[in-house]
Amino acid sequence: MILLVLLSFILIAGYVYAMIKKGKEIPYSISATYYALTHKFWFALCMIGSGVLLLPAALESSTENSQFLVFLSVVGMVVLGVSPNFKSEQKVPHAIGAAMSLIFSQIWVGCNSWYWLLLWSGFIIYMVVSMKKHWTGNFISDFIKRKPMFWIEVISLLAVYLTCLW
């Protein structure tokens, strides 16, 4: 099972790294990288592939009562993969898939290895320190410039992978 977790992690981390390298900056969100792709199928392959590869290990790492949560989270990743164009008619399914993946994955982490949720304190600390350092007086603008969605996605993925491994 560790092999599947590692393959899933390599797939999603490799995709994110390649897109950061291609864009020469951190994207607003992982989903936003879809628009920079020449071959759009890569987004679907990485979202669906990383979720499906992770599912067996995540189910094995689950309590019996929390397995449905990780399943719903992976369903959310699949929905993201099949509806990547969130600037069009795919906006609603994309948002539903993203919400499913984020919410159910973090509830699942809380049910199985709650201490990995402490990673969220790093997000909060980063946002406070970075906003204070680059303060312009406009809270919303300063918050958005820190690219919170990207960091929310990264932390949620990291918490899931760590839960599967430990």
Low-confidence ranges of the chain (pLDDT < 50): none
The CA distance from 159 to 166, in Å, is 10
Please give the DSSP secondary-structure letter assigned to residue 83: -
Please give the DSSP secondary-structure letter assigned to residue 1: -
Please tell me the pTM assigned to this model: 0.94
The pLDDT of residue 89 is 86
The pLDDT of residue 66 is 97
| Residue pLDDT, tens place only, 90-99 | 899 999 999 9
| Residue pLDDT, tens place only, 10-26 | 999 999 999 999 999 99
Element containing residue 133 per DSSP (H, E): helix 119-133
Domain around 119: 2-165
Neighbours of 111 (CB within 10 A): 16
Percent of the chain scoring above 70 in pLDDT:
100
What domain count does the chain have?
A: 1
